[in-house]
Structure 1
Amino acid sequence: MGAARWIAVAVVALAVVVLLARWARELAPVQDFLLQYPGHSELPANAPVGIPAWLGWQHFLNAFFLVLIIRSGWQVRTTARPKAYWTRKNTGLLKTRAKPAKISLELWFHLCMDVLWLLNGAVFVVLLLATGAWMRIVPTSWDIFPNALSAGLQYASLDWPADNGWVYYNALQVLAYFAVVFIAAPLAAVTGLRMSPAWPKGNAALEKAYPMEVARKIHFPVMVFFTGFVVMHVALVLCTGALANLNHMFAARQDAGWLGFGIFAASLAVMVGACFLARPLFLRPIAGVMGKISK
C-alpha cells in the first residue's frame, strides 16, 4: 500500500473515531460519567502550584538530548557502512588488559548523548522529589484511570478537556509523563547499556540472564514510543493555547505573552543546528579528543 493510501486510511479512521466519540457524548450514561470524572484527579493538598523556573531549562535539555538520541539511534540502525570509527584510548584510569572495542562514530555520538541525557534526567528526578513537583506527574489516586478515559473521550470528540496546566495536568497527561520519566527512560537506559560496549563481555551467566536479543526487541519500540510522544506532545501544546503553554514550559509564567514562544523558537533553532552539526565532518574533531578515529 502506497503512502497516499495509508494517509487516506488514517484520515478516514480519524474521522470515524471523532464521529463515534461525539455520538457517545450524547448518551446520558456517558454524560453522567463525564460529570463524575471530568478528566483530572485532585492533587494532594500540599502539591505545589505553578511551574518552577528550573523546569524550563530542564525541559529544553531533555528535549535537546532526546532529539539527538533519536536521530543518532536511527543512524546507528540504518547506517550499513559507517564513514568513521572510534576507539577509546586505553590509557590512565581507563587502561585495561582487554583491547578497547572499535565502534562507529554514530554509535559513539549516540552513547555520549545517552550519558548526558541520563545525567540530566537524574538531576530532573532529584528536583522533582526535592520540590514536591513529583505530585503533578505521579498518580496519587485510583480515579486517574476513569479520568484518563474521560480525557481521552474528550480529546477524541475534539471538545478537549479543561486546560489548567499551571495548576494540574489532566489524567492522560499525568499517565503519559509518568510513563516517560519512570518507565520508558529506565527501559531505554537498561536496554541501551546491554547493547553498549560497556556491557561486560564473556560473562555467560549475565548473557543468559539478559540476552542481547531481548534488549534489542525492547530498545527500538521504546525509541518509537519517545518519537510518538514528542510528536503528540508538540501538537497538543500548539493546539491547546500555544502561547500560554509555551510560557508555562519555557518562561515559568502564567500569561499569554510572547516570551515563552521566543525562548521556544530559540531552543528549536539550537536543536536544528545541533542536528545539522551531528555528522562525521563535525564529530571527528570532538571524538578525536576522547579516543582514536579510524576509517
Structure 2
Amino acid sequence: MTAPPRPPSAWDGTAPRRITTAAVASARSRPTWTQGIAVLFGAAALGVLAAAAVALVRTLLSFAFMQDFLAAFPGEYVPPIAVESGFPAWVNWAHFFNVFLMVLIIRSGLRVRTEKRPTVFWAPRGNPKGKISLTLWFHQALDILWLVNGVVFVVLLIVTGHWVRIVPTSWEVFPNALSAALQYVSFDWPHENGWNNYNSLQQLAYFVTVFIAAPLAAITGFRMSGLWPKKAEKLSKAYPVEWARALHFPIMLYFVAFIIAHVALVMLTGFLRNLNHMYASQDAVTWTGFWVFVASLVVIAAAWVAARPLVLAPIAKVFGNVSGR
C-alpha cells in the first residue's frame, strides 16, 4: 500500500498563491530590524542636534552684546496693571477640570479617527437620522464640558483681574520671550516667579493656548459636528468642512506638544513648589500639592479605563437613544 502523497514543503508553481489580507496586514505591522535601527538613528540624531543647539546658544550668550540684551530683557517685564499674587482656588479647580477633560478629549478624538466599524451608536430623540457613533458622542460631550469650563475660567480671569497674568500688556513681551527662550535652551534657565508673574515666554504660550488654540479647536469641532446647521448653505460654503478638518487635528497636536512641554518644565523647575501653585494654592515647598496631583491622576486614570461602551451607554441614554449596529 502506497503512502498518500505529502504536501510539498516548498511552493514551486507559477500562479500566485492566495494570501489572506489579515496575514499581509500582520506581516506589514511587524517592525523590522531596519526600522528599529532607523528609530535609534533618528533618536541619536535628535540628541546630537539638541546638544549642538545648547552649545550654540551658550556660545552666543557669552558675547558682550548678548549679555547686554539679557540685562535689558531678563525674560519678564512688570505689568503696568497691578494684580494680586498667587492662585485662587478657582484656578486650581479649573486647571484640574481642564487636564481631566483634555486627556479624555484627546483619547476619544484619536478613537474617532481610528475607529473603522463602530458597534454602538447614539441618536437624539426624535431624529434617528442624526445617529453617530458612541465614541463621537462622547468626544462631543467632552468638548461641551471643556468649553463650559473654559468660559467660566475666562470670565473669572476678567472679573478678578488675573487676566493680566496671561495677556500681554507691553511690547516688551516679545524681546523678553526671546530672552527666556534662549535661557531655556542654554539650560541657564530664567528665574521662576510664577506665584507673582509669569515670564514672557510662559505668558505668550498661555495666551495662545487660551485665546487662540482653544477657540480654533471649538470652531473647527463645531463645524464638523452634527450641531452645524445643515440648511445654512451660504455659511457652509464660506466655511467648508474641509478647512475645519485640515485644522482640527494639527490643533490637537499643538495641545499635545503644549502639555508635554508644560509637564516637563513643571518637573524640572521646582517640582513641589509648582505643584503647590497649581493644586494647593500655596507658595511653599511641601508635599501637599504633590499628593493632590497624585489623587487627580488616579481620577483621570479611572476615567480613562471607564471610558468604554459598558459605562458610557447608560449615560448616553439619558440624552438620547443608544443602539447597536
Fold conserved between structures, TM > 0.5: yes
The answer to whether residue 150 in structure 2 is matched with residue 75 in structure 1 is: no
**Within 1, Cα distance between the matches of 2:181 and 2:214?**
24
**Within 1, Cα distance between the matches of 2:197 and 2:277?**
12
State the match for 2:137 in structure 1. 108
- Superposition pairs for residues 209-248 of structure 1, below 5 Å? 209-248=238-277
1:44 Cα deviation (Å)? 2.4
For the residue of structure 1 that corresponds to 2:74, the secondary structure is coil
For the residue of structure 1 that corresponds to 2:318, the secondary structure is helix
Residues 99/81 of structure 1: CA separation in 2 closer, same or farther (3 Å cut): closer
- Per-residue CA distance 1:46-96 (angstroms, 9 max, x = gap): 222111121111110111111111111111111111121111112xxxxxx
1:99 Cα deviation (Å)? 4.9
**Within 1, Cα distance between the matches of 2:133 and 2:220?**
19
1:5 Cα deviation (Å)? 2.6
Alignment-mate amino acid for residue 76 of structure 1:
V
- Per-residue CA distance 1:129-186 (angstroms, 9 max, x = gap): 0110000000000010000000000000001000011110011100000011100110
For the residue of structure 1 that corresponds to 2:156, the secondary structure is helix
State the match for 1:46 in structure 2. 82
**Within 2, Cα distance between the matches of 1:11 and 1:112?**
40
Larger Rg: 2
Alignment-mate amino acid for residue 235 of structure 1:
A
**Within 1, Cα distance between the matches of 2:69 and 2:57?**
14
- Per-residue CA distance 1:238-264 (angstroms, 9 max, x = gap): 110000000011111110011000111
Which of these residues, 213, 217, 221, is aligned with residue 184 of structure 1?
213
The answer to whether residue 272 in structure 2 is matched with residue 206 in structure 1 is: no
State the match for 2:30 in structure 1. none
Compare 6-15 and 220-229 and name the one that shifted more: 6-15
State the match for 2:21 in structure 1. none
TM-score (norm 2): 0.86
Which of these residues, 79, 83, 89, is aligned with residue 125 of structure 2?
89
**Within 2, Cα distance between the matches of 1:183 and 1:177?**
10
State the match for 2:19 in structure 1. none
1:34 Cα deviation (Å)? 0.5
For the residue of structure 1 that corresponds to 2:82, the secondary structure is coil
**Within 1, Cα distance between the matches of 2:186 and 2:139?**
40
- Superposition pairs for residues 142-161 of structure 1, below 5 Å? 142-161=171-190
**Within 1, Cα distance between the matches of 2:290 and 2:86?**
18
| Structure with greater contact order relative to length (CA < 8 Å, sep ≥ 6) | 1
**Within 2, Cα distance between the matches of 1:8 and 1:148?**
29
The answer to whether residue 312 in structure 2 is matched with residue 276 in structure 1 is: no
Q: CA RMSD in A?
A: 1.2
Alignment-mate amino acid for residue 71 of structure 1:
R
For the residue of structure 1 that corresponds to 2:83, the secondary structure is coil
State the match for 1:262 in structure 2. 291
Which of these residues, 5, 19, 32, is aligned with residue 55 of structure 2?
19
**Within 1, Cα distance between the matches of 2:217 and 2:81?**
34
Compare 224-233 and 277-286 and name the one that shifted more: 277-286
State the match for 1:95 in structure 2. none
State the match for 2:321 in structure 1. 292
Contact 1:83 1:280 in 2 (8 A): no
Contact 1:85 1:103 in 2 (8 A): yes
State the match for 1:61 in structure 2. 97
Which of these residues, 178, 198, 201, is aligned with residue 172 of structure 1?
201
- Per-residue CA distance 1:221-248 (angstroms, 9 max, x = gap): 1100001101110110011000000001
Contact 1:89 1:100 in 2 (8 A): no
Contact 2:124 2:319 in 1 (8 A): yes
The answer to whether residue 143 in structure 2 is matched with residue 123 in structure 1 is: no
TM-score (norm 1): 0.95
**Within 2, Cα distance between the matches of 1:167 and 1:203?**
47
**Within 2, Cα distance between the matches of 1:6 and 1:271?**
32
Alignment-mate amino acid for residue 171 of structure 1:
S
